[in-house]
Amino acid sequence: MRIHSSDHSWLLLAILVILLSFSGALSSDDKEKKTKSVDKKKEVTYDGTSLIINGNRELLYSGSIHYPRSTPEMWPNIIKRAKQGGLNTIQTYVFWNVHEPEQGKFNFSGRADLVKFIKLIEKNGMYVTLRLGPFIQAEWTHGGLPYWLREVPGIFFRTDNTPFKEHTERYVKVILDKMKEEKLFASQGGPIILGQIENEYSAVQRAYKEDGLNYIKWASKLVHSMDLGIPWVMCKQNDAPDPMINACNGRHCGDTFPGPNKENKPSLWTENWTTQFRVYGDPPAQRSVEDIAYSVARFFSKNGTHVNYYMYHGGTNFGRTSAHYVTTRYYDDAPLDEYGLEREPKYGHLKHLHNALNLCKKALLWGQPRVEKPSNETEIRYYEQPGTKVCAAFLANNNTESAEKVKFKGKEYIIPHRSISILPDCKTVVYNTGEIISHHTSRNFMKSKKANKNFDFKVFTETVPSKIKGDSYIPVELYGLTKDETDYGWYTTSFKIDDKDLSKKKGDKPTLRIASLGHALHVWLNGEYLGNGHGSHEEKSFVFQKPVSLKEGENHLTMLGVLTGFPDSGSYMEHRYTGPRSVSILGLGSGTLDLTEENKWGNKVGMEGEKLGIHAEEGLKKVKWEKFSGKEPGLTWYQTYFDAPESQSAAAIRMNGMGKGLIWVNGEGVGRYWMSFLSPLGQPTQIEYHIPRSFLKPKKNLLVIFEEEPNVKPELIDFVIINRDTVCSHIGENYTPSVRHWTRKNDQVQAITDDVHLTASLKCSGTKKISEVEFASFGNPNGTCGNFTLGTCNAPVSKKVVEKYCLGKAECVIPVNKSTFQQDKKDSCPKVDKKLAVQVKCGRDKKN
C-alpha cells in the first residue's frame, strides 16, 4: 500500500506524540520509584559488634517516649530534654487502636500525628526505633489492638490465623508505607534506624504451639519483604528467625540476656525498665538510678552497644486509654516525669553515664574484650586495641555491703559497694555508677491562687434503670457489651418471692451474692443502692455479698458493670471475659435462688450523659443541671468553670474528696481517677491528674466529672501548678569528680581544666535563681532532697559557705572538701567520712 506524503507526516507526528507521552510516563514512574526506594549505600546494617549507620558504628542511648501519652505541644520540649540528657535515639510503639479505632478509618492527627512526632526527633538530630506491634502491651488498653478485631469472624490474635494475619499485614503496610512516603527511613536519609515487629511473644508462644512458631516466621518475613533498608528486632524472642535480631527486655540484661542467637548479630537492649508501672491499689514504687546505671555499665562492658530506657518519659494515659487497673499517670519515676520535668538525680546521673561511655566509644567498638576476676566479688572487663593506646575498663564490685579493692595494670582502685567504675583510658576513673554527682530535685505541687476561686458546681444524676427489656438468659459479657465505647454496662433482672421464702425472725435476712470476673460493680435492689465491689490488677475476680431486704412478689435487681480498661497481655486475648458471671440469693426458705441462668436479663450500654456528650460545652444544654446540694447520690455528673492556673508551669487537678470516675476539661479526656481504692499505706495510688496546658484557655475552662460513688465532696478538689524548684546536692567527699571534667583527644583521655576536683553543682530551671538556702551540712547529714536533717557531725559554717557560693545565682558550683567548710582548720569528727547535703529554693526575680 502506498502512503501519500501528507499521510506520512501525520503518521510521524502521531508516533512522536506517543513516544513523548511514553517517555513522560516512564520519567514519572522513575521519579516515584526514586522517591520511594531505599538507597542501598545508606542501609542500616549490623554485625556482631553494633548497628552500622551510614557506614559508621554507633553506641546508641535510647529512650521510650510515646506520642499519644503527651500532647504535640509538649513533644518539642520533651525531645529536646531527652537529647540534652545524652540520648541519641527515641523509641516509640505504634498504637494500632489509636490509628484505626474503626475498621478502615485511619487517624494521624493530634496526639496520633506519628509523622510530626518523628520529624521533631529528626529535627533534633536523633534516631528513631519504631515498634510496630501489632500487639504492644505497654499497659495500654487491649495491648494496642483495636476492639473491632475481636468481632472479626474466626479470629485468633497473635497466631497463625488467617483473619488476624490479613488485618495485621494491611495495618503494617499502611504504617510502613506512610513512613516511606515521608522519607523517614535511614535508608532514605531519615531518622528511623531500627524496627520491631511483635512484642515479647515468647511469653505466649507455648500456648499456640506450632502455630506460634509459624506466626513468628510469618511476621519476620512480612517486614523484611518490604526491603526498607533497616534491621528488625524481636524482643524477648531468643529464637527470632534470621535475619531478625533477638533483643533483651528487663532490669539486668548484662546478666540475664543469653546473647544474640547468631554471632553476626549485636547485643541490643530494647527495654531497661526505669521504674515499675503503677496500678490502682499500689503503694509508691521506685527503681534507684544507681541500679539503672550499674545495669547499663554492666551491659556495655559485656559487648552491649544499644540500651533503651523504658520509659524515659512515661506521660499520661488520657481518657480511657490505660489497660485494666493501670493508673492514668504512667511511669512517673522515669528520668522525665509525667509533666516532662527532669527527675533528678535520675536524669543527670544517666547523662553522666552516657558521657563516660562515649569516652570509651572507640575501645568498645573496635577493641578486643578481655576479662579478669580478682575475687569472687570483683570483676574487670576491658577492651584494648592492640598496637594503640585505645583502652577502656569497667571495674565491677558485686558486694552489696562494702567497698572492694582491685589492682589493675599496676594501680590499685577502691570500688564502692555494688558499683562499676568506668576508666575510658584504663587508668583514670571518670564515673562510678554508685556515686551521684548530679543535683537532686524535689517536686512541689503548689495550690493555684487563680484557679481555685469558689467553684459553683452544678449536678446531673443518671437514672438507675429498674427493668430493661431483654431476652438474655445469662448476664452478657462486659467487654463485648461495651465494645470499648464506654466503661459502663447495665444489667437488670426481676424475680418473684413467695411469703414462705421470707423468714419471720427479726434480723434474719437472705443474702445477695454476685460473683464477678471484674473489674468493678455497683448494685441496687428495688431502687435502693446496696454498695459496690471491685477486683484488682492481680486478682480481677471478686464477690459482692450483702444481706438484703426482699419483698413479697416481684423484686428488681440492677447491676452496673464497670471496666477500668481492656487487658493488655496474655494468650487468647480475644476470648478474655469480664463482668458479673453468677448471681444468687442465699438463705431463702426454699433454698438458694440462682438468678444467673433461670431469669431473663436486660442490658443497656453506657451512661445517658455519655450519649448526649455532656462532658463538652456543646452537650451541656441537653440535660437539666441542678445546683449542688452538698450530698449527691452516685452516678452524678458535676460541672463547674475555672480560670487557668497562673504561670506556664505544668498544671494538675487534685481529686481530694472524690471516689471513682472520669475527668474532662474543655471536652478533653483527662483520664480515669480512683481515689477510694487505697494502697496498703492507706493512701490513693494517684491523687494529682495532669491537665496539659494545651487543654486550657485563659479563663472559663469547663470542668466535668462523672462520679460513680455517692456522698463525695467536690468542694475539696483543687488545682495545682507543678515545679521542681527545690534543688539539692548530696555528695561524699571521696566521690569521683564529675565526668564533665574529661574529654578524649588524639586517642587519649584528657582533663578539660588544669584543676580537676570534686564539686557540687546546683542549677535552677529556666530564668529562676536561687532565692534561699534551706539546708546545708558538711558532715553526716540524714535524709533525702526535701527532707534533710542534721546528723551527729556538722560543720557550723556550712550554710554560710553555700549562701556565699549560691544565693542570687541561676546556678552555682561548691567545692566539696574540708578546707572549704572547716575554715578554722578544726575537725570535730575526724573519723567520719564527710558528705555535703544542700537544699536550695529557686524562684523568679520580680523583674522576671
CA–CA gap between residue 703 and residue 651 (Å, rounded): 14
Closest CA to 413 of 399, 400, 398, 426: 426
Question: What are the residues whose beta carbons fall under 8 Å from the beta carbon of 801, sequence distance 6 or more?
Answer: 776, 778, 814, 820, 821
Please, is 553 exposed, middle or buried when counting C-beta atoms within 10 Å of its C-beta (0-12, 13-18, 19+)? exposed
Is 271 designated active site? yes
- Whether the CA torsion 115, 120, 124, 126 is positive or negative: it is negative
User: Which of 58, 139, 200, 668 is flagged as catalytic?
Assistant: 200
Q: Which residues pair with 185 in a beta bridge?
A: 192
CA distances from 463 to 180, 190, 633, 685 (A): 52, 55, 11, 30
Bond before 260 cis per omega within 30 degrees: no
Strands 748-751 and 742-745: antiparallel
CA–CA gap between residue 443 and residue 324 (Å, rounded): 28
Instruction: Say whether 31 sits in a helix, a strand or coil.
Output: helix
The angle at the Cα of 349, spanning 346 to 354, to the nearest 5 degrees, equals: 120
Rg (CA), the chain: 32
Closest CA to 354 of 752, 53, 751, 61: 61
Give me 153's grid cell: 469472624
User: Which of 43, 100, 271, 477 is flagged as catalytic?
Assistant: 271
Closest CA to 710 of 634, 819, 635, 659: 634
Q: Which residue has the cell 504492644?
A: 136
Task: Quickly list DSSP for 472-532.
Answer: BSSPPPHHHHHTTS-SEEEEEEEEEE-GGGS--STT---EEEEEESSSEEEEEETTEEEEE
Please, is 731 exposed, middle or buried when counting C-beta atoms within 10 Å of its C-beta (0-12, 13-18, 19+)? buried
Is 73 designated active site? no
CA 528 to chain centre: 41
Instruction: Say whether 364 sits in a helix, a strand or coil.
Output: helix
CA–CA gap between residue 705 and residue 461 (Å, rounded): 12
DSSP 8-state secondary structure symbol assigned to residue 700: -
Q: What positions carry a catalytic annotation?
A: 200, 271
